[in-house]
Amino acid sequence: MKVLENLYYTENHEWVRVEESKAYVGISDYAQHSLGEIVFVELPEEDDELNAGDVLGVVESVKAASDLFVPISGTVLEVNEHLEDQPELLNEDPYQNFIAVIEISDESELDELMNSKTYTEFCDE
Amino acid sequence: MNHKYIPHTEQDIKKMLDTIGVSSIDDLFREVPSEIKLKRDYNFTNSLSELEVTKRLQDLASKNKSSDDLTCFIGAGAYDHYIPSVIHHITNRSEFYTAYTPYQPEVAQGTLQYIFEYQTMISNLTGMDVSNASMYDGATSTAEAMMMAVAKRRKNKVLVSKTIHPNTLSVLKTYAKYQGVEIKMIETKDGITSRDDLEDKIDNTIAGVIVQNPNFYGRIEDVESYVDLIHEHKSLLIMNVNPISLPVLKTPGEIGADIVCGDAQPLGIPLSFGGPYIGFLATTNSLMRKMPGRICGETTDIEGKRAFVLTLQAREQHIRREKANSNICSNQSLNALAVTVYLSTLGNQGTREVALQNIKKSHYAFKKISALNGFEAVYDGPFFNEFVIKSDYDYNTIKNTLYEKGIISGLHLGDYDNSLKNHILFCVTEKRTAKEIDHLVDVLGGLAHA
C-alpha cells in the first residue's frame, strides 16, 4: 500500500495536497484497494461551498458505494471531470488523480488531519 | 351476536379463544372504541341460494356506471382513451399476468425485454436520454423527480407552479414534509405559470422548478421561454407531462428539461375507477444515477447472445440502503407492458394521429360550448385536450342534467378553488364522436329552457 509523504490524510481515507491556498483532494491507495474496481465517481459542482465533513461526492465500485467527505472547509474551485468518463483512473493512480480542488477558507483545519506516518499507522491497525 | 355467515361452530371459536388465552371475541376488539363498533346484528334477513346471491350482487354492481355506460367528458389526470384490444390479450397472457417483479432478474428475460423496450419508447417519446422501468403513478414519479433534484443540487427548496394538478401537489407536499424539503408556489397568470413570479422567486437556493404541461387547466405552458432562467440559477427543470400530447408538442428533451415525469395511464391503461396506473420518469445521462427504481439494460451472455439485465437498481436497493435517494425498488411492470404494447401497436404515426384527434375534437367542443348562452371560455390560448368553461348555471344542475342524458360532465374546479365556482374543466379525447359532442352541446344549450 502506497502512502505519499507531504500529504495530509483523513480517517475516511481521503488525501489532501496543499498548494498555496488550494487543497487538492483525492482518495488514498488504501481506499481504492478496499473499494475494488471503481465504476462511477459522483463529483461536486464548481462553486459549491462546503464545510469540513460535508459530502464531497460518491465513489462507487462493483462492491460498494461510499461517500467522500471534504476534509477542509472552502469553495470548490475545480473538479476532475476526467473521472466522469474514466472512473478507473482512481484505481490506476489515486494520488495523481485528484477529485476536487478546494479554496481553503481556514488553514487551521489542516492541523486536524493526519500526516503520512500517522496515517500509515492508522491503516495498519 | 349471531354471525349467520361465519362457518365456525361455537366449539371452534371456544377452542381458538382458549388457545390464545382470551375469554371472548369482544376481548379481541377491546382496543376498538365502543362508539365505532357495530352494535346491532348484520343486515342480512334471509339466507339466499348461490343463484340469488349472484343476482343480488350483480344488481348492486350494475349501479356503478363507468365510462363504458356513459359518455365521458372528464379528464383531469385520468383519461378515457381508446385502448386497442390487442393490449388486453397480451397483458392477460399468464406468463406476463402472473409474473411478479423480477427479483431474480436473469430468469425473467421476457419481462426484462419488455421493460427495456418500454424504457426505449419513453426515452423517445420524452426526448430524454434515459427512463427507468416505471413507477407507481404520476404523482409518485413527480415526487421522486423532486427528490432527485434535491439530491443532485444538494439544496432543499423547490418551486412548484400553481397550475399543477392539486392531487399531485398534495403528494409532493407529503414527500416534502417528511424529507425536509421546502415547497414554494409560483403564482398563476391567465391559467399558466406567471413568469414574473418565477423571476421573483428563483435564486441559487432552488434545487428545481416543477411545471405541468399541459397544465391542470388544460393549457399549454410556454416552458421554453423560462428554461434558461431556471438553468442560469443552477436549478433543474422538472416537467410533468401528459404523454399522449408529446407526439405533437416539442418534447421536454428539446425544451431542455432535466427530469420528465407524469402518468402513462393515457397510453393504454383503462380508467379502472382510478387505478392502478403507471408513472414514468425520464432524465438526462448526468442525472441517471439519482434516478429511483431500476433500469433494465441490454448486454450479451457468455455465448454472445443478446440478453437483458437489471442494472442501476442494485446500487440503490442493496448497496446504498440508508443513503439511497429513494426507497422504491420495484416498478409497475404489467402496466409498463400495456404501455409498451400500446406504443408499439400505434407506432409514431398512430400516436401522432391520436394526439391530433384530441386537439381537433376538443377544439371543436370548445368553440361550440363557449358560443352557448350562459357559457363562456375562461382562457384564450393553446390547449391540448382540456379547457375551462365558466357557466352561469350551478355546477350541480349541469352535472345532474348531463347525467340524466348519459353524459359525465367535466370536473368542477370550484371543488379545488373557491374563486372558480361553476368553472368546469372539460376533456375531449379521440374516443368522442362529433355526434357525442353535439349531444353534449345540445343538452348544455337546453339548460336555458329547463
Gap from A72 CA to chain B (nearest CA, Å): 18
Task: Choose from B232, B319, B322 for mutation: most chain A CBs within 10 A.
Answer: B319
| B4 interfacial to chain A (CB closer than 8 Å) | no
Grid cell for residue B284: 438526462
A65·B234 Cβ contact <8 A: no
Cis peptide before B243 (omega within 30 of 0): no
pLDDT by 10-residue block (mean), chain B, 450 residues = 70 93 90 90 80 94 91 97 96 84 71 95 98 96 97 93 98 96 97 97 97 97 97 97 97 98 98 94 92 91 92 62 76 94 97 98 98 96 97 97 97 96 98 98 88
Q: Is B289 on the interface with A (CB under 8 A)?
A: yes
Contact assignment for A65 to B323 by CB distance below 8 Å: yes
B321 touches chain A (CB under 8 A): no
Q: What residue ranges define each of the domains in chain B, with the CATH number in brackets?
A: 71-82+347-446 (3.90.1150.10), 86-343 (3.40.640.10)
Nearest to B339 by CA among B279, B291, B283: B279
Give me the pLDDT at residue B321, please.
Answer: 65
The pLDDT of residue B104 is: 65
Asked if A60 lies within 8 A of B154 by C-beta distance, the reply is no
- B2: cell is 349471531
Measured between alpha carbons, how far apart are the two ends of chain B, in Å?
Answer: 52
CA distance A40 to chain B (A): 9
Q: What pLDDT is recorded for position B3? A: 57
**Closest Cα partner for B153 from B237, B211, B228?**
B237
Q: Could you tell me which residues of chain A have a Cβ less than 8 Å from any Cβ in chain B?
A: 40, 42, 45, 48, 55, 60, 64-65, 67
Contact B315 A65 (CB under 8 A): yes
Tell me how far the alpha carbon of residue A99 is from its chain's centroid: 6
Query: Was domain A8-107 assigned CATH 2.40.50.100?
Result: yes
Which pLDDT does position B362 carry in this prediction?
98
Nearest to A60 among B154, B234, B315 (CB): B315
The predicted structure's pLDDT at residue B43:
79
B289 and A48 within 8 Å at the Cβ level: the answer is no
Contact A42 B289 (CB under 8 A): yes
CA distance A71 to chain B (A): 18
**CA B172, B296, B155 angle in degrees (round to 5)?**
35
Residues in chain B: 450
- A65 contact residues in B (CB cutoff 8 A): 315, 319-320, 323
Counting beta carbons within 10 angstroms of the beta carbon of residue B298, is it exposed (0 to 12), middle (13 to 18) or buried (19 or more)?
A: middle
pLDDT given for residue B1 in this prediction? 45
Q: Which spans in B257-389 are helix H?
A: 313-314, 333-370
**Backbone conformation region of residue B272, classed left if phi is above 0, alpha if psi is from -120 to 50, else beta:** left
Question: Could you tell me the sign of the dihedral formed by the alpha carbons of B42, B45, B47, B49, in that order?
Answer: negative
A36 to A27, A31, B141, B398: CA distances (angstroms): 13, 9, 34, 68
**Residue B43, all three cell numbers:** 343486515
Q: Which of A97, A109, A4 is nearest to A43 (CA)?
A: A97
Does the beta carbon of B315 lie under 8 angstroms from any beta carbon of chain A? yes
Give the number of other CB atoms < 10 A from CB of residue B311. Answer: 15
Query: Cβ of B318 under 8 Å from any chain A Cβ?
Result: no
Whether the predicted interface score ipTM is above 0.90: no
Query: Which pLDDT does position B102 carry in this prediction?
Result: 64
Residues on chain A touching B234 (C-beta within 8 angstroms): 45
Determine the residue type at B120: T
Cα B318 → chain centroid: 29
Rounded to whole angstroms, how far apart are CA atoms B377 and B381?
10
Q: What is the model's pLDDT at position B19?
A: 95
Q: What is the pTM of this model?
A: 0.86
Nearest to A65 among B154, B234, B319 (CB): B319
pLDDT of res. B450:
63
Per-residue confidence in pLDDT tens, chain A, 125 aa: 889 989 999 999 999 999 999 999 999 999 999 999 998 898 988 888 899 999 898 898 887 788 899 999 999 999 999 998 899 999 999 999 999 999 999 999 999 999 999 999 999 88
Residue pair B429/B361 in contact by the 8 Å Cβ criterion: yes
The alpha-carbon gap from B311 to the nearest alpha carbon of chain A, in Å, equals 12
CA distances from B446 to B369, B394, B428 (A): 12, 14, 20
Q: Residue A56: closest CA among chain B residues belongs to which residue?
A: B154
Rounded to whole angstroms, how far apart are CA atoms B260 and B210? 10
What is the pLDDT, as a whole number, of residue A125? 80
Q: Which of B232, B253, B226 is nearest to B241 (CA)?
A: B253
